[in-house]
Structure 1
């Protein structure tokens, strides 16, 4: 039995991304996609879905406002750029809370939770083999503290000899580590060394040329000796 899902977000780029992610899942049936909560509400009231990927802050109706009159409670994965909604979201039947930008690996963690929450699982009785383990962070020494950084938030890492500058979605942090250590420590299916001075997050790559990779609108050089291995990694994704 397929897991019936619906995507509602007022940003077309967000719905396009989730539609593409869902298309990779063999047991998920996409029942619809909408950028308008007022248009989606009548459809959702007439058509029962199992899982709702739902933005919170939208014009005219918030995600919370939409859930109250549905008449039934689908499993909800909130997708939003605003972390402050996390606590409010748990008054509903929430499976997960995804903060934009949403990486595919983080999306898959939510899918794994859906399989556990569903009262009757689809024909595939086990979670998909590509669901990652729960740990999705690393601790880095920054000044006198050990700072926990979500791997989804790391854009790229830059070598500063005995230090590294970790560029994240919230800004850069400097940690006393060698880049060679991080190359071994970070998951190789998510991060790749592209130069003697750079490691990039594969999930955040925007474009690739023969000489550079663009991440977060920054062009990072590709070292000649790393190019072949990078091509191999990208072909497996």
Structure 2
């Protein structure tokens, strides 16, 4: 079972992710967090296989949030931005997905790919 945590300031997007995960057989969304600080505390505590994180959030953006983690799970950044940010090259982001391109099938494929990649 691949475990995931999602951090995104959009509660509707988090609800959508939750509905996607209800249909996945070997993936579990163990928690969702609209607040990056609470989300990071849960990442440290629960140690998910994959972290789904938004780029732009109030107070801490996705990169600042990731910067607080010493040991990072696989990272899938999901954003409304058209282009991948340059900072992605500095921090290890395993996959970048635009929100407008996101489908239930694409998310399942991406999570499966990044979770099974060798570090």
Work out whether the TM-score is over 0.5.
yes
Task: State the partner residue of 2:61.
Answer: 62
Deviation at 1:116, TM superposition (A): 3.2
> Does the C-alpha gap of structure 1 residues 111 and 44 become closer, same or farther in structure 2, counting only changes over 3 Å?
closer
Q: Give the match's secondary structure for 2:83.
A: helix
How many pairs are equivalent? 118
Cα displacement string for residues 153-182 of structure 1 (whole angstroms, at most 9, x for unaligned residues)? xxxxxxxxxxxxxxxxxxxxxxxxxxxxxx
CA root-mean-square deviation: 1.9
> Does the C-alpha gap of structure 1 residues 38 and 75 become closer, same or farther in structure 2, counting only changes over 3 Å?
same
**Distance in 2 separating the partners of 1:87 and 1:4:** 28
Deviation at 1:27, TM superposition (A): 1.3
Task: State the partner residue of 1:18.
Answer: 17
**Distance in 2 separating the partners of 1:28 and 1:118:** 18
Cα contact 2:50–2:115 (8 A) shared by 1: no
Task: State the partner residue of 2:106.
Answer: 106
Task: State the partner residue of 1:30.
Answer: 29
Deviation at 1:118, TM superposition (A): 5.4
TM-score by length of 1: 0.46
**Distance in 1 separating the partners of 2:75 and 2:20:** 16
Q: Give the match's secondary structure for 2:4.
A: strand
Task: State the partner residue of 2:4.
Answer: 5
More strand by share: 1
Task: State the partner residue of 1:72.
Answer: 71
Q: Which has the higher contact order (CA 8 A, sep 6+)?
A: 2
More helix by share: 2
5+ unaligned residues in a row in structure 1: which ranges? 120-237
**Distance in 1 separating the partners of 2:86 and 2:65:** 18
Deviation at 1:77, TM superposition (A): 0.6
Cα contact 1:95–1:113 (8 A) shared by 2: no
Query: Which runs of structure 2 are paired with 1:1-237 in the superposition (5 Å)?
Result: 2-101=1-100, 102-117=102-117
Cα contact 1:95–1:110 (8 A) shared by 2: no
Radius of gyration: which is bigger?
1
